[in-house]
Amino acid sequence: MSRIGMNSISVPDGVSVVIAGSLITAKGKLGELSAQLTDDVVVSQADGKITVSPREGASRAKQMWGMARSIINNLVVGVAEGFSKKLEIQGVGYRAQVQGKDLVLQLGFSHEVRYPMPQGIEIKCADQTHIEISGADKQKVGQVAAEIRAYRPPEPYKGKGVRYEDEYIIRKEGKKK
């Protein structure tokens, strides 16, 4: 039985949720998001709360129950507050800056890396070594952060590279004489 799926989702003020069969659409101050769910779950809305329950007779329903609840919760939280990921750059000469609609990274290559900002995602650089990615869609924010990190993942000897702000890098000792 799903422990996540049992919890109801409270809809904050300023957010409207429309349930049309298996299509869920949430609209708030940060935009509009929608998700197509499977037919294995039943979604109902009453008194500012959304509840998800498994459909009777479907063996796959219990597997999809908690996931469907998490997807709906991410839609509601995304249009109300949004999501953000913070990246940190470490290394001599490694830096980042926003130029127009591109994130320009110098990561020790012979060329600079230009990353175009996707639609619905905002990238800010507080200084040359910190990047903040924010947006309403949790999946898209995480994907953009992972793509930027993949240009130069942190290496285990000196820790140089692009890392998440709360990421801990396990360091190796290196050669000995």
Average pLDDT, the chain: 92
User: 83-164 architecture in CATH?
Assistant: Alpha-Beta Complex (3.90)
Report the phi/psi class of residue 107: left, alpha or beta, with left for phi > 0 and alpha for psi in -120 to 50.
Answer: alpha
CA distance 46 to 94: 52
Burial of 57 (0-12, 13-18, 19+ CB in 10 A): exposed
**Helical H segments across the chain, by residue range:** 3-6, 61-80, 138-151
Report the predicted TM-score, pTM, of the whole model to 2 decimal places: 0.89
Residue 175 in this model has a pLDDT that exceeds 90: no
Asked if domains 3-80 and 83-164 share a fold, the reply is yes
**Domain chopping of the chain, boundaries:** 3-80, 83-164
- 54 - beta bridge partners? 41
| pLDDT one-digit tens code per residue, 73-96 | 999 999 999 999 999 999 999 999
| pLDDT one-digit tens code per residue, 130-171 | 999 999 999 999 999 999 999 999 999 999 999 999 999 999
For domain 3-80, the CATH superfamily is Ribosomal protein L6 (3.90.930.12)
